[in-house]
Chains A and B, each alone.
Chain A
Amino acid sequence: MSVTRSNPILTVGKYLALSGYLVFALFPLYWLVKIAITPDRLIFTEGTDLWPSSTTLDNFRTVIFQTDFMAFFGNSLYVSLGTAAVTTLIAAGAGYAFSRFDFGGKKVIVAIMLITQMFPLLMIIAPIYKIVSSLGMLNSLTSLIVVYTAFNIPFATFLMQSFFDAIPKDLEEAAMMDGCTRFQALRKVIVPLTLPGLGATLGFVFTAAWSELLFALMLISDNASMTFPVGLLTFVSRFSVDWGQMMAAGSLALIPSCLFFIFIQRYLVQGLTSGAVKG
């Protein structure tokens, strides 16, 4: 669309709109970091200024060295990485099956997977709690990994399927002609080609697991096995006045998701475009 070629007013309007979006998107995050680096003594006098008169990293130091945050961070990292790895492995298998085979019940399985994306997951929070507690698995990070894996498989499967769909069938058929079994062909020919897809899936699942709150809140009550969201929330409700430290903790929680986001964001639109062609 070449709307901008002609009219200077439109061009100005466009850049105004662009900066509006940018400010709206980034301001809250800026504020988070700003309060985190404001010294405690200035928070009440300069808390609402756009920039404090002096800055400090004390809050980060306190959070990292004097609270349980590194433990929460570690727990979350363990749960998210575990979920991402297991989900991607399982979803790659399922996505491959959807992409390469026609079989009885395929429609039904796809439909069930779609439905799991639509109904309120909160609906199963009570049964999951009872099952997990009767297995004696409350406060266990493994139970979180299992639950998150199940939640993320449907989406990850569709994602992986679209990556497999993009790879020509001829490649593995050629390998199978040359005497490979299908699994060998998958491992030696197809997997190397889908590495970016596997990476993107890992990223998506990691971010989803990293931010999950409600099930973790329900299943984890023990301080030692809290994930980051649960830990942060407990922290907030317990010490609701220490703004600087809470925001420092929040800023730290941003880091892993942002890293993954930078990695996956170029696949977002690119991948979506190829799927959206059939309007």
Chain B
Amino acid sequence: MGRVPQRCLRKLAVRPVTARTDTNALPGTSRAGRSLYWRYMVEPFLYLSPAIVLIGTIILIPLIIGISYSFQSIEILNPFATGWVGFENYVDLWSDRRFWIALENTFWWTFWSVSFQFFLGLGLALLLNTHFFGKKLFQALVFLPWAVPTFLSALTWAWLFNPTIGPLPHWMAALGILDEPYNIMGDPDPALWGPIVANIWFGVPFFAITLLAALQSIPGELYEAAEIDGASPWQTFTKITLPFLAPMIAITVMLRTIWIANFADLIFVMTGGGPANSTQILSTYIFTTAFRRLDFGFASTIAVALLAILLIYAVFVLWLRKRLVKI
């Protein structure tokens, strides 16, 4: 879920419909009319219908219901308070201090996670695009974090940050980052860095895989030509590699940003949003509101707000990309 859609998304975005030549001829020939009707209107849907039905009933209908919840009061623990309340939830949201804290945390969480994942992933992809001994094994091992279930990554890193059984606080104390070995996730100031580090660990392989695929599709002749012309490695990188990677980078970073902003598992398991909401991001706030307080109306309101923010972001990035490409 959400883990690797990039390639396919991209592929479809780049060439949404490959060949539509036959559509004009559709109503014409009467002899073939019936079979064309069959081919274009019926047969594809025989293969598609299970997927459409499931997505419709399990995702789309609940999505609409969810949006309608944001205009209702639905508290499972307080069944008498149920009913339509108009924009009351949104008014509450606007004056909810925790919402604004969570919004700010969402920004930093996403910003630092994506930045580190991207630069470390790019570095790894560049390394993997060279030749060295034992590359296949190295690649398999270095991609392994990506296969680790998220709840387990979260627990493992929570343990690593625990001074009783984890080495990290002791190392950080030895390096002078901490005064004494304590758990940074118990201290509101640095707490968010715990889940961010876990997220970086988990997400670097993904960026590396995507960028490596893009690197491997750059024609080798370009590098040969550059070498003949006496280009330095840095020139080769900035003049050939980066321009070729740029479209892939743009789309991957955008999708990853959205995905990470939605990604609640790590924080929920590692800190539960605490201490004092210092690691609460919008998606964990949605989940805790729904799961612990069973206040479905308010949870849906936060979700709608998050969706709106992400939509604005996506539109902005696409607009920016269009502008930049024009110039």
Residues of A at the B interface (CB closer than 8 Å) are 1-4, 14-15, 17-18, 21-22, 24-26, 28-29, 31-32, 35, 43-44, 47-48, 50, 90-91, 93-94, 96-97, 101-104, 106-107, 109-110, 112-114, 116-131, 146-147, 149-155, 157-159, 161-162, 182, 204, 207-208, 210-214, 217-218, 229, 232-233, 236, 243, 246-247, 250, 253-254, 257-258, 260-262, 265, 268-269, 271-273, 275-279
Q: B9, B210, B296: which has the most chain A beta carbons within 10 Å?
A: B9
List, in ascending order, chain B residues with CB within 8 A of A3's CB. Answer: 130, 233
Question: Is residue B176 within 8 Å, beta carbon to beta carbon, of the partner chain?
Answer: no
Minimum CB distance partner of B241 in chain A:
A1
Flag if A269 contacts B212 (CB, 8 Å).
Answer: yes
Q: A21-B124, A159-B8 are in contact. Are A107 and B17 (CB under 8 A)?
A: yes
Interface of A is mostly: helix
Question: Would you give the 0/1 interface string for B4-17, flagging 1 where the beta carbon is closer than 8 Å to chain A?
Answer: 11011111111111
Residues of B at the A interface (CB closer than 8 Å) are 1-5, 7-17, 19-20, 22-23, 39-41, 43-45, 47-48, 50-52, 54-55, 57-63, 65-66, 69, 74, 120, 123-124, 126-127, 129-132, 138-153, 155-157, 159-160, 163-167, 170, 201, 204-205, 209-210, 212-214, 216-218, 223, 227, 233, 236, 244-245, 247-248, 255, 258, 262, 264-265, 268-269, 283, 286-287, 290-291, 296, 299-300, 303-304, 306-307, 310, 314
Flag if B209 contacts A18 (CB, 8 Å).
Answer: no
Flag if B127 contacts A21 (CB, 8 Å).
Answer: yes
Flag if A269 contacts B213 (CB, 8 Å).
Answer: yes
23 residue pairs of the A-B complex, CB under 8 angstroms, read: A3-B130, A35-B159, A43-B165, A47-B165, A48-B170, A94-B48, A94-B51, A101-B43, A121-B262, A123-B303, A124-B65, A151-B1, A157-B51, A159-B8, A207-B147, A213-B265, A214-B287, A214-B291, A258-B147, A260-B147, A262-B140, A265-B143, A276-B248
The residue that B47 contacts in the complex, of A96, A104, A126, with Cβ under 8 A, is: A96
User: In the complex, what's the smallest C-beta–C-beta distance from B173 to chain A, in angstroms?
Assistant: 11
Flag if A158 contacts B59 (CB, 8 Å).
Answer: no
* Bound-complex Cα distance A151 to B63 (A): 13
A47-B166, A103-B45, A272-B210 given. 5 additional CB < 8 A pairs? A15-B132, A21-B142, A25-B204, A129-B296, A217-B291
List, in ascending order, chain A residues with CB within 8 A of B61's CB. Answer: 127
Flag if B150 contacts A213 (CB, 8 Å).
Answer: yes
User: In the complex, what's the smallest C-beta–C-beta distance from A236 to chain B, in angstroms?
Assistant: 7
List, in ascending order, chain A residues with CB within 8 A of B255's CB. Answer: 118
List, in ascending order, chain A residues with CB within 8 A of B120's CB. Answer: 21
List, in ascending order, chain A residues with CB within 8 A of B11's CB. Answer: 158, 162, 275, 278
The residue that B156 contacts in the complex, of A28, A97, A109, A114, with Cβ under 8 A, is: A28
Flag if A109 contacts B209 (CB, 8 Å).
Answer: no
The residue that B144 contacts in the complex, of A91, A150, A210, A258, with Cβ under 8 A, is: A258
The residue that B160 contacts in the complex, of A26, A31, A159, A214, with Cβ under 8 A, is: A31
Flag if A17 contacts B123 (CB, 8 Å).
Answer: yes
* Bound-complex Cα distance A115 to B69 (A): 20
Flag if B10 contacts A122 (CB, 8 Å).
Answer: no
Flag if B216 contacts A218 (CB, 8 Å).
Answer: no
Flag if A91 contacts B8 (CB, 8 Å).
Answer: no
Flag if A275 contacts B60 (CB, 8 Å).
Answer: no
Flag if B55 contacts A112 (CB, 8 Å).
Answer: yes
List, in ascending order, chain B residues with CB within 8 A of A130's CB. Answer: 65, 74, 296
Flag if B1 contacts A208 (CB, 8 Å).
Answer: yes
User: In the complex, what's the smallest C-beta–C-beta distance from B180 to chain A, in angstroms?
Assistant: 14
User: In the complex, what's the smallest C-beta–C-beta distance from A130 to chain B, in angstroms?
Assistant: 7
* Bound-complex Cα distance A153 to B205 (A): 23
The residue that B1 contacts in the complex, of A22, A161, A212, with Cβ under 8 A, is: A212
